[in-house]
Amino acid sequence: MQPLLELAAPLTSPLVALAVVGILALVRRRRWSLARGALAVAATVLVTSAVYHTAASNGAARRWLTALDTPLVAVFLVVVLPAMCLPRNRWYRLFLLVPAAFVALAVLSVLNAYRTVPAGAKGFYWFLVRPGFLIAGVASLLVMIQPLLGLAWFRRAVRLAAFLVLVYGGFALRQNYEDYTAMRERRPPPNATPRIMNVSETSPVLQSEKRMTYIPGAPCRFTADGGYVQGCNMEMAQRLMQIDFTKIGASDPGEISLLAVLLGALLMFLIVSFITARWWCGWVCPLSTLGGVLDWVRRRLRLPHLKPSQPVKLGYLFSGIGLGGLGLAMARAYPNLDANGQFLGCSIPLYPFCKICPSQQVCPIAATDPYPGLPTWDWGFGFFKVACVALLAVFGLSFLLGRRLWCRLCPMGMISGLFNRGGLVRLVKDPGKCNRCGVCAEVCPMDIDRVRAEMTDQNVSCFDCVLCLRCIEKCPRDGCLALEHAGARVVESHYEGGKA
């Protein structure tokens, strides 16, 4: 198995994924036949794989390539991309054998991991599975059930699966028995005094000393023993700000290695964002899912939602930018702490922004993880404690009163939103089919009016859009609204009594 995995290593590279989606866009633009397009894609994979393996023969290049790799890319190329591109005919039914095989492979991986448990330690250790097999299995299962569900229920299924993996995955989805027992030993005892968790107490499943994986959403690495992925993009940005360039100038091997891994993670994140835009906010983000529960509570209580005015929207936007900038500025001061762990007399935690982010409080509670505790008064002269409580209140009220009002403040989502225009994902509209009924504006959780109002430009994507596709789901005009990926129409509006 290991030689096959090494041979398939190029499929985990976002550089290869970028080349493949690029050639697919060219194939569609030139309207090549299915056979010619398939040949072009196969040739691209072979050529880029050969280049990858040739470059990997050099030690320095291999280090950079390894820092870029992630199983998320392999699953996107082998499972998700074909599911989006293939026409729904006999070829698609044949393709479904691939995700079925990955689901079986994930199950076999769990069974095999249990066979390696020492004889004297037999018991239940949740699902011991390698990250690549788990991600492939979950994505494959979702692809297989997608034809059976409407758009709304499919979105719920994706959000539930992502929530379970990202919030509970750090505890229940360790790689093997040794990884599971090491996780249990790291966790503080249940009766421990609540305090800010140390990074040494958490270890995300999908990480190694050679790579880190960040997704464009808000999973917290301080939940359930580090969560499943490394964390959010703000955690990555804080790590980059904490690089000690004095050590880099002195050729410190440890600091240079950390910089290489972080730059690889940054490039991987940018490529993934370019390929997927802000889709992660609407379908994957755990904070968004928990906020959706609050929104459901509001609707059950029959409370009206507030549509924020433009000043309120701008206030949230600039508040999020300000808080993110302040957190990064404090992170930059971290390498300059004195012997007492202070900067200019101020105690600064390792990840300043994380200490005020609601995710570090909400996700551990949702995962029934040992509660990390609120920041104490000695951190930042009490700033972190006050800001943490205030943002928790803003998070709850924003979802209870205004649907996705919180998402306008979230710096993690703002970074992904930059790719809504110019990336590979587009929300498009046929103005000739639009009667300006306003349904899209009414159902939009971000209160976006551009989709309704725009009658000249087909591309109606905008910065605020979280690509939840509610507008497509509810649009009463066939083919009026659609989601395109690299020129391929993934889903379009169909009026079936509000079902798409």
Nearest Cα residue to 134 out of 106, 107, 161: 106
pLDDT at 122 over 80: yes
DSSP letter (8 states) at residue 412: H
CA–CA separation, 278 and 415 (whole Å): 9
* Domain 425-492: assigned CATH number: 3.30.70.20
The letter for the amino acid at 212 is M
Helix (H) or strand (E) holding 490: strand 488-492
- Please tell me the predicted confidence (pLDDT) of residue 500: 38
Average pLDDT, the chain: 88
Mean pLDDT throughout 352-371? 83
Task: Decide if pLDDT at 375 tops 60.
Answer: yes
**Nearest to 74, CA basis, from 117, 149, 10, 128:** 10
pLDDT value of position 499: 43
Contact 423, 410 (CB under 8 A): no
Tokens for 442, please give them: 């009414």
Residue-level pLDDT at 49: 92
SS3 label, residue 422 = coil
11 touches 264 (CB < 8 A):
no
pLDDT at 112: 93
What CA dihedral angle connects 303, 309, 314 and 316, to 10 degrees?
-10
Residue 429 phi, psi dihedral angles, 5° rounding: -140, 140
Query: How many other C-beta atoms lie within 10 A of the C-beta of residue 85?
Result: 21
- In this prediction, residue 142 carries a pLDDT of 97
Domain residue extents for the chain = 194-412, 425-492
Positive or negative torsion for Cα 484, 485, 488, 494: negative
H-type alpha helices, 89-206 = 90-95, 97-115, 131-145, 151-172, 177-186
196 pLDDT exceeds 60?
no
- Pairing mode, if any, of strands 346-347 and 425-429? unpaired
Would you state the pLDDT for residue 159? 96
Query: Residue 308 pLDDT more than 60?
Result: yes
Q: Are 167 and 290 in contact, with CB atoms under 8 Å apart?
A: no
What's phi and psi for 427, nearest 5 deg?
-95, 115
What pTM was estimated for this model as a whole? Answer: 0.91
How far apart are alpha carbons 440 and 380 in whole angstroms?
Answer: 45
Query: Minimum mean pLDDT among 15-29, 134-148, 251-265, 483-497: which range?
Result: 483-497
pLDDT tens digits for range 458-476:
999 999 999 999 999 999 9
Q: Do the Cβ atoms of 366 and 220 come closer than 8 Å?
A: no
> For position 60, what pLDDT does the model report?
83
Give pLDDT, residue 205. 93
Report residue 80's pLDDT band, with 50, 70 and 90 as the boundaries. Answer: very high
pLDDT tens track for 44-55: 999 999 999 999
Q: For residues 117-138, give the mean pLDDT.
A: 92
Least Cα distance to 242 among 199, 277, 281 occurs for 199
Looking at the chain, the whole-number percentage of residues with pLDDT higher than 90 is 53
Per-residue pLDDT, 441: 92
Q: What pLDDT score does 299 carry?
A: 87
Confidence of residue 498 (pLDDT cuts 50, 70, 90): very low
Examine the pLDDT at 395 and tell me if it is beyond 80: yes
- Say what the pLDDT of residue 214 is: 92
Who's near 377: CB < 8 A, 6+ residues apart?
A: 385
Highest mean pLDDT among 174-178, 219-223, 299-303: 174-178
Residue 369 pLDDT = 67
What's the pLDDT tens digit per position in 203-221?
A: 899 988 889 999 988 898 8
pLDDT higher than 50, residue 104: yes
Average pLDDT in the 236-252 region? 90
Residue 65, Cβ neighbours under 10 Å: how many? 21
Residue 334 has pLDDT above 90, yes or no: no
pLDDT tens across 410-463, in order?
A: 998 888 889 998 889 999 999 999 999 999 999 999 999 999 999 999 999 999
CB-based contact 240:266 (threshold 8 Å)? yes
Q: What percent of the chain has pLDDT over 70?
A: 95
Residues 6+ apart with CB under 8 A from 3: none
CA distance 286 to 136: 20
Per-residue pLDDT band for 302 (boundaries 50, 70, 90) equals confident
Q: What is the Cα–Cα distance from 205 to 202, expressed in whole angstroms?
A: 10
- Residue 1's pLDDT band, with cuts at 50, 70 and 90, is low
308: helix, coil or strand? coil
| Chain CA centroid to CA 167, Å | 12
Q: Is the pLDDT of residue 183 over 60?
A: yes
Rounded to 10 degrees, the C-alpha dihedral 431/434/440/446 comes to 20
Reduced to 3 states (helix: H, G, I; strand: E, B; else coil), residue 60 is: helix
| Per-residue pLDDT at 197 | 58
